[in-house]
Amino acid sequence: MSLNFHYAAHTYVDNWVVCDRKARNVLGFRRGYQPEPEQAREQLIEVAKIYGIARNFRLELEGDNARLSPVWDALKEINEPASEKDAKDCVNKLVETLKPTYGHELTSAASKFLWMRFGSPIIIFDSLTWDWMRKQVGYSSIKTYNEFYDAWRTNFNGQKEDIDNACKALKEANVTKFLCPSECPSDEERREFEEAITSPWFAERVFDFAIVNDESQSHNLPKV
């Protein structure tokens, strides 16, 4: 089954507005804003709940936010990746840093939190994406995050033109007017939405959503 990037672009832009937009603004210090520690921890737990990874962080501490304090402390110490190699190193470093605290490897969670902080070139590790990738010719034996990352990049690059066309269609459809609650979006809102839709990280997440939608059908799960 071929991947439907136009459908994925449509569904991801909704997800970005509802979840990822705020998380990236807070955790990534977007537009010069630096959050208070408590606000950052609140956003981390919100991401953990939305992405179904909150159950992985079990500590004998009071309150959801306290459970994510070690994550925020570790995230602040990681420098923004400048290359694909750096991206893989960032994820592996966060996994190893958190393992003594939480008792197991949290590759999926680490990749998601780091993506919220930095965006591209971090790639989110997801179980459905992993399953889909292992079905592709030549990738059935991938085991590590690095191997997953390389397989993901190869498949993404092979379909980048179609993904870019789907993202371009969103911009041409003036999608901003469908996303803003106000009838007349401000110039700042228009710039923010257009910048998002044309950013490399947006195209990469469209690829993720296309894979998850395709893999969900094979598992008889609802589309995202």
Where are the extended beta strands (E) located within the chain? none
Under 8 Å between Cβ of 196 and 202: yes
Element (H, E) at 164: helix 160-172
pLDDT tens digits, residue range 95-124? 999 999 999 999 999 999 999 999 999 999
Tell me how far apart the alpha carbons of residues 100 and 129 are, in angstroms, rounded to a whole number: 27
Overall size of the chain counted in residues: 224
pLDDT tens digits, residue range 43-99? 998 999 899 998 888 765 555 567 888 999 999 899 999 999 999 999 999 999 999
Q: Kindly report the pTM of this predicted structure.
A: 0.89
